[in-house]
Amino acid sequence: MTAVLHGGEGAVPAADGRTGGLQVRDLRVTYGAGARALTAVDGVDLDVPRGRTLALVGESGCGKSTIAKAIVGLAPVVGGRIMLDGATVTTERERHAARFRQRVQMVFQDPYSSLNPRMTIAEALDEALALHTELTKSGRRSRIAELLDMVAMTGTAADKYPAEFSGGQRQRIAIARALATGPEVVIADEITSALDVSVQAAILNLMREIQQRTGVAVLMITHNLAVARYFSHRTAVMYLGRIVENGDESLYDAPRHPYTRALLDASPSLATDRADRVHLAGDLPDPHHPPAGCRFHTRCPIGPLTHPDRVVCRAATPPLADPAGSAVACHFPLA
């Protein structure tokens, strides 16, 4: 299967010069209204070009999964643009349209809850094919066999039910169903977090092989920085509804935002404890009432907590200058 992508007028070039795929500009998602309104995503920009993976990382509750849900029409977008190949598809009607659902697919964290336990694997895949393709019944049978082969499942799997498989096998089946429509973008929301470490590696390797074969763009939502580094071409770090840093492999070796540095220092490592390890202060602020200025300043190890003269951190929001390139939203970025 080869994903067919069209640049189209107004296509936004990615950092590596590619166009097409998914672009998000100034995305805002709000739940509720009035004093208890919660802006879960506040002005986020993302680029996921064809054939590439963007990992979106951050603590639980920062808004990562909300972005995924907003893209596929499961969360209320109140501002900004969602684009495919440069064409805007932001309204709820557009994101629920059959054509959009065919082009953008999502794989969820729990594969068992996303598969109908009363349908065989063949029936689940056939349902997607019947809705989004013009294949005949015999053509759909051939396509089902091709999809199961693509995710390294034997032909006998087609006639079994989800409960007959392990968690890793069910995730392979969920990936096969997402690929059934020949999507241009796949959103993978914590797809390895419920799996054993050895199974996680197998699923990530499978996703990489599929991407190389099909050219699909992948938005990988994860809290696991090791997973993000292994699988992604680029990484965006999110804190309290906003992107604070993005970049390529260099982000892991030389992070410029103190929050990125703290996340990396908190990751499990065989290295001995370092004297310069960054530790976060305090708890995550109330997302209903985020701090003014830089939202990270209440926990920042190099901000007003330790440097009282850095009042700008409390007063002004640091911009993310280049959402498609390497950038950091910090008044005093790390060297």
In the chain, beta strands by DSSP E: 22-31, 38-48, 53-57, 77-84, 87-88, 104-107, 185-189, 217-221, 234-239, 242-247, 327-328
Residues paired with residue 77 on neighbouring β-strands, in sequence order: 29
User: Percent of the chain at pLDDT above 70?
Assistant: 90
Distance, C-alpha 33 to centroid of its chain: 27
Question: How many alpha carbons fall within 13 Å on the CB side of residue 322?
Answer: 8
Confidence (pLDDT) at 246: 95
pLDDT at 276 over 70: no
pLDDT at 269: 60
Question: Whole-number mean pLDDT of the chain?
Answer: 87
Report which of 175, 192, 171, 191 is spatially closest to residue 183, judged by C-alpha positions. 175
pLDDT at 267 over 60: yes
CB 209 within 8 A of CB 295: no
Residue 14: per-residue pLDDT: 41
Q: Confidence class of residue 239 from pLDDT cuts 50, 70 and 90? A: very high
- 131-150 pLDDT, tens per residue? 888 899 999 999 999 999 99
CA atoms within 13 A on the CB side of 115: 30
Does the pLDDT at position 121 exceed 80? yes
- The helix (H) or strand (E) run that includes residue 101 is helix 98-103
Check residue 19 and give its pLDDT.
56
For residues 186 and 87, what is the distance between their CA atoms, to the nearest angstrom?
Answer: 18
Decide: helix, strand or coil at residue 35.
helix
Per-residue confidence (pLDDT) for residue 16, from 0 to 100? 45
Enter the pTM of the model: 0.88
- pLDDT per position as a tens digit, 152-178: 998 789 999 999 999 999 999 999 999
Report the SS3 class of residue 87: strand
Contact criterion met (CB below 8 Å) for 315 and 63: no
Q: Where are the domains of the chain?
A: 22-232
Q: Is 175 left (phi over 0), alpha (psi -120 to 50) or beta?
A: alpha
Which tokens in the block code for residue 114? 């996303």
Residue 263 has pLDDT above 60, yes or no: yes
Read off the pLDDT band of 34 (50, 70, 90).
confident
CATH 3.40.50.300 fits 22-232, yes or no: yes
Q: What is the rounded CA–CA span in Å between residue 145 and residue 136?
A: 14
CB 302 within 8 A of CB 257: no
Bridge partners of 79, per DSSP, are 28
Cβ–Cβ < 8 Å for 143, 129: yes
**How many Å apart are CA 181 and CA 214, to the nearest integer?**
12
Task: Compute φ and ψ for 14, nearest 5 degrees.
Answer: -85, 180
Q: Please report, in angstroms and rounded to a whole number, the separation of the first and last CA atoms in the chain.
A: 44
Under the banding of pLDDT at 50, 70 and 90, the label for residue 45 is very high
Residue 193 CA, distance from chain mean position: 13
* Residue 28 and residue 66 in contact, taking contact as beta carbons nearer than 8 Å: no
CA-nearest of 44, 23, 34, 31 to 240 is 44
pLDDT at site 194: 78
